[in-house]
Chain A
Amino acid sequence: DQQVKQNSPSLSVQEGRISILNCDYTNSMFDYFLWYKKYPAEGPTFLISISSIKDKNEDGRFTVFLNKSAKHLSLHIVPSQPGDSAVYFCAARREIGNQFYFGTGTSLTVIP
């Protein structure tokens, strides 16, 4: 039962343009959402997060948007850089039980 879904397994974007990565979830009990970036042969690295009481959080080139009514979040990277090429995982936390649920990842390629 995949409660967090990333329906696009891959995405290619030109350097300098915007990258938009999407994530959908099914459980309305999730209260905290995170994005992780993963390079090959390394562990996921925490990137940015958002609480369910907010609809936007920005950190430099990275912005996460949360639409609770649609149970949808997205990560915007502007401008995209070749070093952003990695697999991006979204995750959601259910406060009761402190459990985290991960999507299957989207592989982003930024073309120079």
Chain B
Amino acid sequence: NAGVMQNPRHLVRRRGQEARLRCSPMKGHSHVYWYRQLPEEGLKFMVYLQKENIIDESGMPKERFSAEFPKEGPSILRIQQVVRGDSAAYFCASSTGGPGTDTQYFGPGTRLTVL
């Protein structure tokens, strides 16, 4: 049973370019979460999605950032017109979203470097 997949693992962009980060959840998981980890900091929640729906985007910057989780295919975190401050590790996690003891499982992360 494959775990959470993220690609690319490393992404280098110049300022002003677009970054697209992909996340394929674990089989059977319909809930996806995106987190950002800045250097020397903890995990910061960005957005929580179910298939075709954004449930909570309270942690995502209002401008330049967007996320989707289409009916078919991976979840995409898109950052437009990247700036140096966007350089970070971006982690995706998935869960079944069921009641009770639901657990998030993380992917290996995408390390974004903005030159």
B101 within 8 Å of A (CB atoms): yes
B17 within 8 Å of A (CB atoms): no
Contact with B along A34-57 (1 / 0, CB 8 A): 101000011111100101000000
Given contacts A42-B108, A104-B42, contact A95 B33 (CB under 8 A): no
Where chain A touches its partner, the secondary structure class is strand
Tell me if B48 and A99 are in contact (CB < 8 A).
yes
Contact of A95 among B35, B99, B104 (CB under 8 A): B99
B35 nearest in chain A by CB position: A102
Q: What total of A-B pairs shows CB separation below 8 Å?
A: 63
A26 nearest CB across to chain B (Å): 16
Tell me if A42 and B102 are in contact (CB < 8 A).
no
Contacts of B48 in A (CB 8 A): 98-99
Residues of chain B in range 70-115 having any CB-CB distance to chain A below 8 Å:
91, 93, 95, 97, 99-109, 111
B98 nearest in chain A by CB position: A98
Contacts of B108 in A (CB 8 A): 42-43
A65 within 8 Å of B (CB atoms): no
Inter-chain CA distance A44–B6, complex, in Å, is 13
Tell me if B103 and A34 are in contact (CB < 8 A).
yes
Given contacts A89-B43, A98-B31, contact A51 B105 (CB under 8 A): no
Tell me if B109 and A43 are in contact (CB < 8 A).
yes
Contact of A99 among B41, B43, B56, B99 (CB under 8 A): B56
Contacts of A42 in B (CB 8 A): 108-109
Tell me if B101 and A51 are in contact (CB < 8 A).
yes
Contacts of A62 in B (CB 8 A): none
Given contacts A89-B42, A99-B48, A99-B56, could you give 13 more A-B pairs where the C-beta distance is less than 8 Å? A32-B101, A41-B109, A41-B111, A43-B4, A46-B106, A89-B43, A97-B55, A98-B31, A98-B55, A98-B95, A98-B102, A99-B45, A105-B42
